[in-house]
Amino acid sequence: MSVRGIEFGAGYEERQPVVLLLDTSASMGRPAEHPRIDELNGALTRWFDGVRAQERLRTRVEVCLITFASAVRVYDPGPGRLVHAEQADPDRLFVPVDSMHPPTLRAEGLTRLTEAVDTALELARTRYRTLQRRRVPVRRPFLWVLTDGAPSDAQGRPLDATALAGTAGRVREGEKKGEWVFQVIGVRGADLPMLRVLAPKATSPLENLDFGRILDLLFQSTDDSSPDQDADLIHQQVNDRAARLARMDRLERDLR
């Protein structure tokens, strides 16, 4: 039996949607002499340039970028701009991983993490349903948060566990229903206890790891985890992998 219109490049591979949530709050502008945001921008550009050589990812993965600071923005690859989620056509926000040209991000403002997560869940769900409806062999989306901070409300006050509970519940409920896999990577002094409220088994501290290696780690995890597995099993695999990566990284640094 055959259907039209389900091509991805020239491949017939499974499709793997990924939503990357990037913290662009003011803390990412520190330290002043080497702002983390510059490091992130460099790593994103290099990583998405380099992915062209990675056949397995190139033929399967489609990606959507979300940034969060005082406001949540989604990268619209068409015009190449960060826009408010409701201004963009959800269908256009996911692009093949090798045609993503990430924008240059600036660090300023608060850390509206919960809003960003809620936006991402909605986009991931819509995309997944759209592709299923089009009979594309799509795997459940992966959502990855990269943050160095602590979630705050609209006034910049840190959120406590109670304020995070609603979003955390939605994340977990979706994972249980097989709608997505959600992972948080805390970098450079992130508030890990608070992040663990959001994702108890899916928060990996990768304090000093290069952003490029973090992206490698996450994208590779799409390849050796099976979507039928329990999300917590995938979290465990990513955490183990992150721990091994961090160990090798420490070893390389110590001997540098």
What's the min distance (Å) between Cβ of 9 and another protein?
A: 7
What's the min distance (Å) between Cβ of 210 and another protein?
A: 11
For the record, the structure tokens of 11 come out as 């491949």
Distance of alpha carbon 16 from alpha carbon 14, whole angstroms: 7
What's the min distance (Å) between Cβ of 238 and another protein?
A: 10
Distance of alpha carbon 230 from alpha carbon 172, whole angstroms: 12
Kindly tell me which of 154 and 233 has the beta carbon lying closer to another protein: 233
Cis amide linkage into residue 31, ω under 30° from 0: yes
Kindly tell me which of 184 and 245 has the beta carbon lying closer to another protein: 245
Distance of alpha carbon 117 from alpha carbon 183, whole angstroms: 11
- Residue 230 CB neighbour total at 10 angstroms: 12
Kindly tell me which of 1 and 32 has the beta carbon lying closer to another protein: 1
For the record, the structure tokens of 104 come out as 């240059």
Kindly tell me which of 40 and 57 has the beta carbon lying closer to another protein: 57
Q: What radius of gyration, in Å, describes the C-alpha atoms of the chain?
A: 17
| Residues composing the chain | 256
What's the min distance (Å) between Cβ of 131 and another protein?
A: 8
Residue 120: closest CA among 99, 87, 142, 103: 142
Residue 16: closest CA among 147, 199, 181: 181
Contact positions vs another protein (CB under 8 A): 1-7, 9-14, 55-56, 59, 132, 135-140, 178, 216, 220, 223-228, 237, 241, 243-245, 247-248, 251-252, 254-256
Kindly tell me which of 9 and 156 has the beta carbon lying closer to another protein: 9
What's the min distance (Å) between Cβ of 231 and another protein?
A: 14
State in Å, rounded, how far the first CA of the chain is from the last one: 58
What's the min distance (Å) between Cβ of 98 and another protein?
A: 10
- Residue 153 CB neighbour total at 10 angstroms: 15
Kindly tell me which of 87 and 229 has the beta carbon lying closer to another protein: 229
